[in-house]
Structure 1
Amino acid sequence: MVVASPPPLARTGEKKLLLPKLPTVDLSGPRADVAQQIVKAAETVGFFKVTHHGVGPATVSRMAQESLGFFARPDHEKKRAGPADPFGYGCRNIGFNGDVGEVEYVLLNTHPGSIAQRSLTINSTDPTKFSSAAGGYIEAVKEVACEILDMMAEGLGATDAEAFSKLIRDVDSDSVLRLNHYPPFLLPSPSSAVDHPAAELKVGFGAHTDPQILTVLTSNDVAGLQVHVDGDVWVSVAPDPTAFFVNVGDVLQVAMTNGRFVSVKHRALNVNAAKPRLSMAYFAAPPLNCTISPLPEMVTPSRPSLYRAFTWAEYKKASYSLRLGDSRLDLFKTQQQ
């Protein structure tokens, strides 16, 4: 969804000291300390950067090279991998409700058989090369997501440390991988895009929250990702191709932590750059028939369940029936809310 009047940007040099600092979590630290850092970031911002995650640069580079190779092809070749219904190649149109952006993308089901089949149209000359790169990347990033989810559960004092991660380890997990390619937006001056009024910026992917449990994203060295924090402030995320960026999804907020974690609103802008931005987002999701409800430790007499139980299929259907910026959370509040 293209945002007609975006909230003010956090501009370089303007109230710089007042801008919130986005959290960074070093996964190589003492486990108990890391778990608490993750919980604090998930509670306060719903977003954090992860370093020392254990995924080798070659795994990320292979996936990025295969993605950029596909997006560099002529339009008529890329269209053979589409339309995104829901999986496959899409351009500008995001979903089925009129949302558009300055982006082209490939959406992949993460099951190996589905990837192998889709690879036939993504890289027709050597489909095994794409499927191998995608499969290796997905498995590596899934392990990062599971490790983070386990530490979230531990940090929350859950009896079952795998309460969250077992949902995406399930063979029927509905997790997906999205490859986003944003064209460069060249301004007449060499200034950074964050120094220009919001009206001069192009929205690559409109403001939204992710409906799944957790998102693990990496990108190249081109900026564009922004996170909505502290009421009405958009904070630009400095790119770091060596790190992953993690954000809490709706399911983790509304049901599994009973509102304790924050499903963060974010967007992608097409910034002033000489090359396109590539992002690769792994959306960790449970099986479609899985019933989602809060951890027992998250429900107390003083804090009853804020949202009714639902299946992921039910929430996904409601989510996809709305536009990007529309709120889904109110649909599942309990009657006392």
Structure 2
Amino acid sequence: MSAATPGSPFGYASKRIGNNGDLGWVEYLLLGVSAATSGPLSVPEGVVPSASLCSFRDLLNEYTVAVRRMTCQALELMAEGLGMDDRDAFTRLVLHKESDSMLRVNHYPPRPELKLLQQQQQHGGGGRVTGFGEHTDPQIISVLRSNATSGLEIALRDGAWVSVPPDQTSFFVNVGDALQLVGEGGRSRYREFTWREYKASAYRTKLAANRLCHFETTS
């Protein structure tokens, strides 16, 4: 299994998040997801599939197809709630053959003892250890499954952070940067830009940065 790299973000990585020095108390597996296919994932050349490998692949495909179906239903309801004439506008983006859909599995190890944290801070280790750190999601939406683990927090408009109770029977839906459409009065808040432009800009910034400010209109 290869580690995630700036040129190819997929694979396994830990602690280092992004390309600009962001660190977290986390390890994760990032897998690319084909947009429209529900068939089995291809086996790399030279790899002989085993029963366990096929079982994992089958389960992954089954899970991905089910979550994608739920995601499309949620996007159709969002389009309807926004008063859009085309109810399938967001769904077509998700199902497009060049869709940038992905599956991330995060694992947050137990926090170190407070004494260790204090020692790190005394030696220039910075502030508190966080899991993934403050950030916004770039996608249209992110669908999260928390299992029974707490730790997810969201920032309110006044800057205060509140904890989201875990719920292993539900999914959380986060609105990403790509779905911020208009400002006050229905005026377009951003100039037109491509997904490629956005990602190129995002890769140059830290997680907590406002990635959309570079595309805001001045009028």
TM-score scaled to structure 1, two decimals? 0.55
Shift of 1:124: 7.3
Does residue 108 (structure 1) correspond to residue 31 (structure 2)? The answer is yes
Q: 1:160 aligns with which of 83, 86, 91?
A: 86
Q: Which residue of 1 is the match for residue 118 of structure 2? A: none
CA 1:200–1:307 in structure 2 vs 1: closer, same or farther (change >3 Å)? closer
Does residue 95 (structure 1) correspond to residue 18 (structure 2)? The answer is yes
Q: 2:3 aligns with which of 77, 82, 86?
A: 82
Shift of 1:127: 2.0
Shift of 1:230: 3.4
Q: Which residue of 2 is the match for residue 193 of structure 1? A: none
Does residue 251 (structure 1) correspond to residue 189 (structure 2)? The answer is no
CA 1:325–1:223 in structure 2 vs 1: closer, same or farther (change >3 Å)? same
Cα distance in 1 between the residues matched to 2:51 and 2:196: 36
Shift of 1:177: 0.8
CA 1:204–1:117 in structure 2 vs 1: closer, same or farther (change >3 Å)? farther
Q: 2:58 aligns with which of 99, 115, 132?
A: 132
Shift of 1:83: 3.3
Cα distance in 2 between the residues matched to 1:154 and 1:224: 32
- Equivalent residues of 1:116, 1:131 under 8 A apart: no
Shift of 1:133: 1.6
Listed one character per residue, the Cα deviations across residues 24-64 of structure 1 (whole Å, up to 9, x for unaligned) are xxxxxxxxxxxxxxxxxxxxxxxxxxxxxxxxxxxxxxxxx
Match of 2:82, as an amino acid? L
Cα distance in 1 between the residues matched to 2:192 and 2:13: 33
Query: Which of the two has greater strand per residue?
Result: 1
Cα distance in 1 between the residues matched to 2:129 and 2:85: 46
Does residue 315 (structure 1) correspond to residue 198 (structure 2)? The answer is yes
Cα distance in 2 between the residues matched to 1:83 and 1:117: 19
Does residue 181 (structure 1) correspond to residue 75 (structure 2)? The answer is no
Indicate the larger mover: 221-230 or 123-132: 123-132
Listed one character per residue, the Cα deviations across residues 120-161 of structure 1 (whole Å, up to 9, x for unaligned) are 99x977322222122111111111111111001111111111
Q: Which residue of 2 is the match for residue 148 of structure 1? A: 74
Q: Which residue of 2 is the match for residue 202 of structure 1? A: 129
Q: Which residue of 2 is the match for residue 276 of structure 1? A: none
- Equivalent residues of 2:190, 2:216 under 8 A apart: yes
- Equivalent residues of 2:155, 2:162 under 8 A apart: yes
Task: Give the number of the structure with larger relative contact order, counting CA–CA contacts within 8 Å between residues 6 or more apart.
Answer: 1
Indicate the percent of aligned positions where both proteins have the same amino acid: 45
Q: Secondary structure of the residue that 2:56 maps to in structure 1?
A: helix
Listed one character per residue, the Cα deviations across residues 41-91 of structure 1 (whole Å, up to 9, x for unaligned) are xxxxxxxxxxxxxxxxxxxxxxxxxxxxxxxxxxxxxxx342353100001
Q: Which residue of 2 is the match for residue 234 of structure 1? A: 161
Cα distance in 2 between the residues matched to 1:114 and 1:305: 41
Q: Is there any run of 5+ residues in structure 1 with no aligned partner, and where?
A: 1-79, 189-198, 261-301
Q: How many residues align?
A: 201
Q: 2:210 aligns with which of 319, 327, 330?
A: 327
Cα distance in 2 between the residues matched to 1:147 and 1:208: 26
- Equivalent residues of 2:40, 2:57 under 8 A apart: no
CA 1:214–1:143 in structure 2 vs 1: closer, same or farther (change >3 Å)? same
Q: Secondary structure of the residue that 1:146 maps to in structure 2?
A: helix
Shift of 1:200: 8.7
- Equivalent residues of 1:99, 1:323 under 8 A apart: yes
Shift of 1:114: 10
Shift of 1:305: 1.6
Q: Is there any run of 5+ residues in structure 2 with no aligned partner, and where?
A: 115-125
Q: Which residue of 2 is the match for residue 39 of structure 1? A: none
Shift of 1:332: 0.5
